[in-house]
Amino acid sequence: MSETVISILVMLHVIGVAIWLGGQIVTAACVIPALRAVGDRTLWLNALEGFTKRFGRVGIAAMVVIVITGGAMVDPRLDQAENFGPDIYDARWGYIFVIKMALWAVMIALIGLHQFVFGPRQLELARESAAADEDTPELKRVRRLTIVLSISGLLMTLLVAGAGAFLGNHNFSMWPA
Ligand code: HEM
């Protein structure tokens, strides 16, 4: 694969990362606080549900682009790493890549629990208690969980991005381990 093609893959990979990471930060720092300030529970719950559905789709599309472009770059980079020996761990690149994939798997698990399990459950409980305009203990518990999952998911995303940066810097990664 030519370095021109790899440059295009890196560009698409990093654009996917920008949407995935940037979307999480904008949601936590801008969207959620703005919606909470609306006051009318039913109104902000409807807006929150509409937003999270759309952001969920954009996030999944970004991760699909990240995985396809990242996956396409693995083979040509492994060929390069083999200059340091037949074993993936003969070059620093191998270690960094395996650490990145492990971090990625934990990130996907945390964000998946937030997006598909506790996030929808929190919306459901918030709707049930909207009429009473009071948070039930169960809603408070689930909200704490979704907040912990989204913060740890964001921290893991930053760690994966960091591992990616070390991976992409060949003056560091393409070096005997
Ligand atoms: C299954 C998922 C992923 C795979 C297979 C993958 C694979 C790769 C590969 C092979 C490279 C090129 C490294 C090189 O040039 O030697 C790369 C670069 C990079 N990846 Fe990933 N990646 C994945 C997910 C992610 C995620 C989730 C992030 C961030 C949140 C990320 C951030 C980066 C960054 C910042 C670079 C460096 C780009 C550069 O060279 O400037 N990657 N990735």
Q: Nearest residue CA, atom 39 of ligand 1?
A: 168
What confidence score (pLDDT) does residue 135 get?
A: 85
What confidence score (pLDDT) does residue 8 get?
A: 98
Q: From the alpha carbon of 71, which atom of ligand 1 is closest?
A: 5
What confidence score (pLDDT) does residue 42 get?
A: 86
> 78 and 98 in contact (C-beta within 8 Å)?
no
- Amino acid present at 28: A
Pocket of ligand 1 (CB under 6 A): 10, 13-14, 17, 20-21, 66-67, 70-71, 73-74, 77, 104, 157, 160-161, 164-165, 167-168, 173
Provide the β-strand partners of residue 91: 176
Residue-wise pLDDT tens for the chain (177 aa)? 999 999 999 999 999 999 999 999 999 999 999 998 888 888 989 999 999 999 999 999 999 999 999 999 999 999 999 999 999 999 999 999 999 999 999 999 999 999 999 999 999 999 888 777 678 999 999 999 999 999 999 999 999 999 999 999 999 999 999
Distance 64 CA to ligand 1 centre (A): 13
> 112 and 59 in contact (C-beta within 8 Å)?
no
Domain boundaries, the chain: 3-173
Q: List CB contacts of 119: < 8 A, sequence separation 6 or more.
A: 52, 146
What confidence score (pLDDT) does residue 39 get?
A: 80
Pick the closest to residue 101 from 158, 43, 47, 164 (CA basis). 164
